[in-house]
């Protein structure tokens, strides 16, 4: 102890420079000896520090491993235990809302993840530059996303706000205008169309006069042709003195003013697809829907009106002329009012001159399978049948407005809910399958056409089997675009305005959609009605999809995405 004190004193004096040389020599020798004698202790301390550091690293790694394992387990069980540290807040209370909120979040994330993967597959398989989708559940938009490019040349990304051609979904929009005029008593669906459009000539089949009605037109039963005229050569034995088919001669006369050959040459010069259906690429600008009738009004009918189903876009041009007359207003002006009433802020006629923000470009593939721009076309000859632009958000909004109107009942009225845009009785008629209108969607099987919509009626529910919901939809194929709008009606039979039985109904069961949701499946956090015993509307899933390339079927993908979001409630 004395030696240490002396050393400290000497160190203090050393700083002041007052130490004698002998004492300085002593301190120097002491310091050297201390370092020599303490070398083993220094090594020992180093080993301890290394051991402690290694143990700490192992501990951190173990904690990280446990955390990762825990997080994976949480993801697999739907995050139901992710917030278990908060359980004490629920002691003595019903914890169901807490559990279901956590489970709903996990279910939604998983549905989006799987649907996004499906979206990528559809895009890759079709070779589409861009693809967009939007999904709503019970009226609330839960997912909207775009992938790829809306404009390949300028590298502009495709987003959920991109505006595309929606093709034949335009028929469903036009049907809403027809229904509104029908409700207001301005349009009789069963009157001959000459009552509204005297410019359209009366028709004969097998030498007998026949009548065409609006009801037949909106279900593709009127016998109006589509784009192809090949059928004319095969009709009847009516010939003129020269032995040529009089029907074919009339058809050629009626199409003198068509400027479609130039469009076809343009397609061929660009390496595009050669098609006989040149009216798909019309470039003539028609000043009114009545003027557009010249494309087909003098052509013979394919069959007797009301006798069979034949899909036709030209038939809807005639429907637009009926709407024009019944509304006593230009067809496009009236449709814009419908869009405004429905809240479709990005749905407009596909016109070349106006500035339409976020408008996507359309593409096709040449004979070598390479992507090329589609030729310029003018859609004034088929506004009603395929002439509108929209985005997926507007399409989902439209689907929900129709579903709301369909499901509205006295119970909802008594609960203070506002009525739908159309009356429930009107929607029952629109969404009821027409027995003769059996159609198909490519490889997706046979379905029934109603009025401006395709429909698959609700199937019979059996024990331990998924409930088969009613589906209504429309697909579209345009120059440079393909589209799909699917509405899955998940309302219970006792809460939905059911239509009267249709004689001879041969509809098939809906397949592939999951079970109906149980009560309180999603909390208000996710904007989904918490109980199917409630009076909230609408109850269902709406899916809208668009790609900016032609000849792509999106129906199967839309159904699969609806299935994924059905699982959010399971």
* Residues identified as active-site: 168
C-alpha–C-alpha distance, residues 258 and 347, integer Å: 28
State the angle between helix axes of 392-407 and 169-183 in degrees (0 to 180), rounded to the nearest 10: 40
- Residue whose tokens read 């509204």: 196
Q: Are 551 and 482 in contact (CB under 8 A)?
A: yes
Burial of 535 (0-12, 13-18, 19+ CB in 10 A): middle
Collapsed DSSP state (helix, strand, coil) of residue 182: helix
Measured between alpha carbons, how far apart are the two ends of the chain, in Å? 79
Closest CA relative to residue 236, chosen from 221, 251, 222, 226: 251
Among candidate residues 562, 557, 519, 526, the one with its CA nearest the CA of residue 543: 562
48-73: burial string, b at 16+ Cβ within 10 Å, e else = eeeeeeeeeeeeeeeeeeeeeeeeee
In the structure, how many helices (H) and strands (E) does the chain have?
Answer: 15, 16
Cα–Cα distances in Å, from 353 out to 39, 285, 356, 508, 545? 90, 12, 9, 45, 26
Q: Tokens 């009603």 belong to which residue? A: 384
Query: Within 10 Å of residue 341's Cβ, how many Cβ atoms?
Result: 12
Under 8 Å CB-to-CB from 53, ≥6 apart: which residues? none
Give dist(CA 361, CA 340) in Å, integer. Answer: 25
Classify residue 254 as exposed, middle or buried by CB count within 10 Å of its CB (0-12, 13-18, 19+).
Answer: middle
Between CA 101 and CA 110, with CA 104 as vertex, the angle to 5 degrees is 145
The span from the CA of 211 to the CA of 507, in Å, is 27
Secondary structure letter of residue 512 according to DSSP: S
Residues 6 or more apart from 419 whose CB is under 8 A from it?
405, 408, 413
Cβ neighbourhood burial of 231 (10 Å; 0-12, 13-18, 19+): middle
Q: Are 510 and 490 in contact (CB under 8 A)?
A: no
3-state helix, strand and coil shares in percent for the chain, rounded to the nearest 5: 40, 15, 45
CA distance 191 to 175: 17
Q: Find out whether 129 and 371 touch, Cβ atoms under 8 Å.
A: yes
């Amino acid at each position: 102890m004395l030696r240490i004190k002396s050393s400290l004193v000497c160190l203090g004096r050393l700083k002041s420079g007052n130490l004698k040389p002998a004492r300085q020599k002593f301190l120097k020798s002491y310091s050297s000896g201390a370092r020599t004698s303490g070398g083993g202790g220094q090594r020992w301390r180093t080993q301890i520090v290394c051991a402690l550091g290694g143990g700490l690293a192992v501990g951190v790694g173990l904690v990280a491993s446990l955390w990762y394992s825990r997080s994976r387990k949480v993801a697999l069980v739907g995050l139901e235990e992710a917030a278990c540290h908060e359980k004490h807040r629920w002691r003595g209370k019903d914890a169901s809302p807490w559990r279901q909120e956590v489970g709903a979040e996990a279910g939604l994330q998983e549905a989006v993840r799987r649907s996004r993967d499906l979206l990528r597959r559809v895009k890759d398989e079709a070779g589409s530059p861009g693809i967009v989708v939007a999904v709503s559940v019970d009226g609330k938009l839960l997912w909207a996303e775009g992938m790829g490019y809306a404009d390949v040349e300028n590298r502009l990304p495709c987003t959920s706000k991109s505006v595309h051609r929606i093709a034949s979904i335009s028929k469903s929009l036009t049907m809403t205008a027809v229904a509104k005029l029908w409700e207001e008593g301005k349009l009789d669906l069963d009157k001959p169309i000459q009552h509204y459009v005297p410019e359209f000539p009366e028709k004969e089949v097998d030498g007998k006069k026949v009548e065409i009605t609006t009801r037949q037109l909106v279900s593709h039963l009127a016998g109006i042709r589509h784009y192809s005229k090949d059928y004319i050569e095969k009709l009847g034995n009516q010939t003129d003195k020269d032995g040529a088919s009089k029907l074919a001669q009339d058809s050629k006369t009626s199409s003198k003013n068509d400027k479609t050959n130039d469009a076809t040459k343009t397609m061929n010069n660009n390496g595009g697809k050669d098609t006989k259906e040149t009216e798909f690429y019309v470039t003539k600008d028609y000043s009114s829907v009545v003027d557009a009738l010249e494309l087909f009004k003098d052509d013979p009918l394919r069959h007797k009106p009301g006798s069979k189903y034949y899909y036709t876009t030209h038939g809807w041009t005639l429907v637009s002329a009926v709407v024009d007359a019944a509304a006593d207003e230009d067809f496009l002006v009236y449709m814009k009012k419908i869009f405004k009433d429905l809240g479709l802020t990005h749905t407009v006629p596909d016109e070349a001159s106006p500035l339409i923000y976020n408008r996507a470009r359309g593409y096709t593939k040449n004979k070598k399978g390479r992507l090329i721009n589609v030729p310029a076309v003018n859609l004034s000859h088929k506004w009603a049948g395929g002439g509108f632009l929209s985005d997926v958000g507007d399409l989902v909004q439209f689907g929900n407005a129709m579903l709301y109107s369909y499901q509205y009942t006295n119970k909802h009225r008594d609960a203070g809910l506002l009525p739908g845009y159309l009356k429930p009785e009107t929607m029952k008629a629109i969404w009821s399958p027409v027995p003769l209108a059996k159609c198909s969607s490519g490889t997706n099987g046979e379905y029934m056409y109603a009025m401006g919509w395709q429909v698959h009626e609700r199937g019979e529910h059996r024990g331990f089997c998924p409930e088969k919901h009613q589906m209504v939809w429309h697909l579209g194929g345009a120059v440079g675009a393909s589209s799909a709008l699917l509405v899955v009606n998940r309302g219970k039979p006792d809460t939905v305005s059911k239509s009267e039985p249709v004689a001879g109904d041969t509809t098939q069961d809906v397949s592939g959609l999951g079970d109906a949701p149980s009560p309180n499946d999603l909390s208000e956090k996710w904007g989904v009605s918490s109980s199917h015993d409630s009076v909230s509307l609408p109850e269902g899933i709406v899916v809208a999809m668009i790609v900016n390339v032609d000849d792509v079927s999106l129906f199967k993908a839309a159904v699969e995405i609806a299935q994924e979001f059905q699982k959010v409630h399971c």
